[in-house]
Structure 1
Amino acid sequence: MSTAVDSASSTPAAPVNPRNRVIIASLVGTTIEFYDFYGYAVAAVLVFPFLFFPQGDPTVALLSSFAVFGAAMVARPIGAAFYGHLGDRIGRKATLIASLLTMGIATFLIGCLPTFNEIGWFATLLLVVLRLAQGFALGGEWSGAALVATENAPKGKRAWYGAWPQLGAPLGFIIANGLFLIINAALPGENGQPSEAFLSWGWRLPFLLSAVMVIVGLWVRFRLVEAEAFTKASKEKRLVKVPLGEVFRSHWKQIILGIFYMLATYGIFYTVSTWGLTYGTKPAPAGLGDGAEGGAYGFVHFELLLIATCVLFGITTLISGPLADKVGRRKFLIWVTIAIIVFGMVFQPLWSGGIVGTTLWLAIGFTLMGLTFGPQAALLPELFPTNVRYTGSGIAYNISSILGAAITPFVATALVAATAGQSWLVGLYLAGLGVLTLIALFLGTETKDVDIEH
């Protein structure tokens, strides 16, 4: 009898991921991926209109740069389908390693590209291809990182664990913008604008340095073990051969809800960050108040404002997790989305209020971004069962990126150009995205108590 007891007690337990390993692996990976992705966003405003598009009308060059920026969003759902298939068939760990490696290679190669003046339109084509590769990789990254966090979370703490991979977005944004700022300071131009040295080779450094970060991220992810939810589904023969077909056949309503859940989140972030950087630094934009150069803030000035206020994005991302666990994802996000709609309605007075108004505009925007972004890493995976969770959450998240992120800087730029520099239509556009998200939240149901291992 004692032998049986000893034998049972000596049976090794299934390997589990320690809490710190889960948090670090999900956070480090998304930080690197978003650093790479946002590095392009900064360059799309400051560098690429000059280096990869023929010079003429500066607005056309900027719109062209934003179009390439948005092309990555189109590639994201394709990446979500590809990596989702792998993640739901062979596991989360190997898929996350593959997506990070793809992003790292594409980002490094952007830093090696020749410019339009050197090889003409072929340079632009190469930029588009590598930007598509970035979007393809990010399409598989987010849902995998969210699943690593939420599928390993204790009961009642999924939104808290899910907030950690979400923290990678503000951290990646701060690191990317901060590095561009440091390089610009080392290679100063006139009137706060980028110098010839910055435009010649300085902009390449953030892309090339990403290789070091990717190596660190790969090392961390190789130490993970597979989540119990996926292992259990595999043992019980619940995995499906074609997750993409299954999710669209049996869970299409959840996909639609997930797309619209994320719409306001994408809209507010790419309005505040990418579009805000554009019109905060270009010469004499209408309505920017008392900055230098006829109303524009210099690159350094506005970047400092962005980085300082983006800290609020990180703080509120973490705060949102425990709040969403306590009151529920749906109820919490309804109130945050209402606040985003109000923010859109007061867009113009804040944006045109000089340094105080612009700082407040950025602070409120990033605060709301953190509050709406944090719970999504728990909410979207909870819409789907384990055997299609990687695919379903990734498809919803990344299709929404087309509607809420890809076209937002483009539309906002066009609206300002069409109204002789007025920004109130941009705020109205953002409020409209918020209304669509609010409708979806009212149509959806609460998910915080669903069985994540189903």
Structure 2
Amino acid sequence: MSAHGPAVPTPVRPRRSDPSMLRVASASLVGTAIEFYDFFVYGTAAALVLGPLFFPAFSPLAGTLAAFGTFAVGFIARPLGSVLFGHIGDRYGRRPVLVASLLTTGLATTAVGFLPPYTTLGTAAPVLLLLLRFLQGIGLGGEWGGAVLLTTEHAPPARRALWGSFPQMGPPLGFLLANGTMLTLTASLSPAQFLAWGWRVPFWAAGVLTLGGLLLRASLTETPHFRELARNGDRADAPAREVVRKHWRLLLLTAGGLSVGYAAFYAVSTWSLVYGTDRLDVSPVLMLALVTAAVAVMGVLTPVVALLGDRFGRRPMCLTGSALVSLWMFPFIALLHTGRPLLMFLGFLGTLLALVTMFSVIAAYLPELYEPRVRCTGAAVGYNLAGVLGGALTPIVATALSGGEGPPWGVAAWLTGIGILSTACFAALPETRPRTAEAGTVDTTGEEAALA
């Protein structure tokens, strides 16, 4: 039983105007891919050019750390965006979140492309860069919750993990767009051209992508779950306060559980670019190509693995994924340190295959853990809090730990430790897969019901 009544399915009154699942899932996928493109293109730029452009007075290592510091600010802002947009989603509907969050991130990303460097603006340049990155994080913090709820609250319970995997394909697709663009530019331009203006092109492209995403999402309808909440007058007055007061344990467990996914992904996609180019003397083009190929495999497998989540449950998949990451981190570092393309690729691929086991079902798992009245806030804040520990800190910590001549075993130990923490957190969470779910019902599973 939840704090607001028994967790009993209640009928949804379908509307003739409700869109098809494929249309809903496609809109979530495209919008999420655009927002993560915005976020990832900054991470790649931070690894390759932002240090010398905006922090030229620093040493190369200090400049990279400073650039990763602005990178981390985006993750710190994401939980704040989750609170802001989660309030909108729980009070006024999931659909407005999708438009507002996409617009916020898109405008901030485009503005980075027009920002003059330190040599022109002086100290104002890194300050403005920091502010724009913060706004990126605010927007992305609202995107994930709105996108997954739009999809999973329209989906039949028996296929919720499958349809929820569509927005989960957004991060890999956004990464492929971002890195594909950067790869093309670094391969076709001279280093001087790329440093002078080439790195700005992916940020300018964000404006065009944002416009397309807004047009696609403008025609979507509200989810059946929120319409039922509004009809019953059961919307939370202060969703964030209710989540913190009544669901704090669930919030901490989900954040801790997901942290390994962020840590391992950004170790592959961001830190490894710096380590490979600076320490192993591997060309940036080759490093980008290897990481991009591994992420492409991850994206393709996401809906396939999600089917296993509908068949065997969400919790077993998350436990398996976090445990596999923990076991793979020392082999990953050993393979990366060889500097050999095939071995590095195998290291990247093994890491991302472990991650997809977990992340393919998260879009279904997190919303099912929270009751509908605070679902947008709870799921989004838990998801984005994990990014502060895993995504924000990992490039900084890994860069600091990767000094010396031998393999950076300290990085492996850091990632393994986060993996063990995540496995313990998932072990403390319940299973939520509907046992007798029927299409046309609202699943009102909440924390208290799930933990009973």
The TM-score normalised by the length of structure 1 is 0.91
Is 1:68 aligned with 2:91?
no
User: Match for 2:414: what amino acid?
Assistant: Y
Residue 223 of structure 2 corresponds to residue 227 of structure 1: yes
1:132 counterpart residue number = 134
Identity among equivalent positions (%) equals 39
Match of 1:275 among 249, 271, 275: 271
Partners of 1:368 and 1:297 lie apart in 2 by 25
Aligned partner of residue 38 in structure 1, secondary structure = helix
Letter in 2 for 1:173: F
Q: Determine helix, strand or coil for the equivalent of 2:158.
A: coil
Q: Report the secondary structure of 2:290's partner residue.
A: helix
For 1:26 and 1:213, how far apart are their aligned partners in 2? 14
2:56 pairs with 1:54 = yes
Counterpart amino acid of residue 359 in structure 2: F
Give the drift of 1:133: 0.2
Letter in 1 for 2:270: T
Q: Which of 424, 427, 440 pairs up with 1:439?
A: 424
1:56 CA drift (Å): 3.8
- Structure 1 residue 420: deviation in Å? 4.4
Runs of at least 5 residues in structure 2 that lack an aligned partner in the other structure: 1-12, 436-441, 446-452
RMSD between superposed Cα atoms in Å: 1.5
Residue 343 of structure 1 is matched in structure 2 by: 328
Matched-pair contact (CA < 8 Å) for 2:322–2:355: no
Distance 1:237-1:310 versus aligned 2 partners, 3 A rule: same
1:348·1:424 contact (CA, 8 Å) conserved in 2? yes
1:181 and 2:201 correspond: no
| Equivalent residue pairs, number | 426
- 8 Å CA contact retained: 2:75, 2:137: yes
Provide structure 1 residue ranges, at least 5 long, that are not aligned to the other structure: 1-10, 189-194, 286-294
Match status 1:412 vs 2:403: no
Alignment correspondent of 1:291 = none
Residue by residue over 1:133-156, the C-alpha shift from the partner in whole angstroms, topping out at 9 and shown as x without a partner, is 000000000111110111011121
Q: Which residue of 1 aligns with 2:46?
A: 44
1:279-428 matches, within 5 Å, as 279-282=275-278, 285=279, 295-353=280-338, 354-417=340-403, 419-420=404-405, 422-428=407-413
| Cα shift readout 1:42-69 (whole Å, capped 9, x = no counterpart) | 1001110010002341110000000110
2:259 pairs with one of 247, 263, 279: 263
Task: Point out the structure with max Rg over C-alpha.
Answer: 1
How far has the Cα of 1:421 moved from its partner? Answer: 5.5
- How big is each residue's C-alpha offset from its partner over 1:250-294, in whole Å with a ceiling of 9 and x where there is no partner? 111211121112111111101111011111222xx1xxxxxxxxx
> Which residue number corresponds to residue 452 of structure 1?
443
Which of 131, 143, 146 is residue 145 of structure 2 equivalent to?
A: 143
Q: Aligned pair 1:23/2:25, yes or no?
A: yes
The C-alpha deviation readout for 1:393-445, integer Å capped at 9, x for no partner, is: 1111111110111000000000112x445311111111111101111111111
Distance 1:198 1:181 in 2: 11
Q: Distance in 1 between matches of 2:289 and 2:333?
A: 22
Partners of 1:348 and 1:179 lie apart in 2 by 27
- Separation of aligned partners in 2, 1:12 and 1:135: 35
Aligned-residue offset at 1:14: 4.9
Of residues 235, 242, 255 in structure 2, which corresponds to 1:239? 235
Alpha-carbon distance in 2 for matches of 1:214, 1:139 = 16
Given that 2:320 and 2:358 are in contact with CA atoms closer than 8 Å, whether structure 1 keeps it comes out as no
Q: How does 1:106-255 map to 2 (within 5 A)?
A: 106-188=108-190, 195-255=191-251
Q: Is the 8 A contact 1:163 1:318 kept in 2?
A: yes
- Aligned partners of 1:105, 1:56: CA distance in 2, in Å? 29
- Give distance in 2, aligned partners of 1:350 and 1:428: 15
Q: Distance in 1 between matches of 2:267 and 2:14?
A: 52
SS of structure 2 residue aligned to 1:159: helix
Instruction: Quote how far apart the aligned CAs of 1:177 are.
Output: 0.5
Q: Normalising to structure 2: TM-score of the pair?
A: 0.92
Partners of 1:253 and 1:38 in 2: CA distance: 30
Distance 1:12 1:329 in 2: 27
Q: Quick one: distance in 2 between partners of 1:126 and 1:421?
A: 38
2:433 aligned partner, one-letter code: K
Find the partner of 2:96 among 85, 94, 101: 94
* Contact residue 23 and residue 161 of structure 1 kept, 8 A: yes
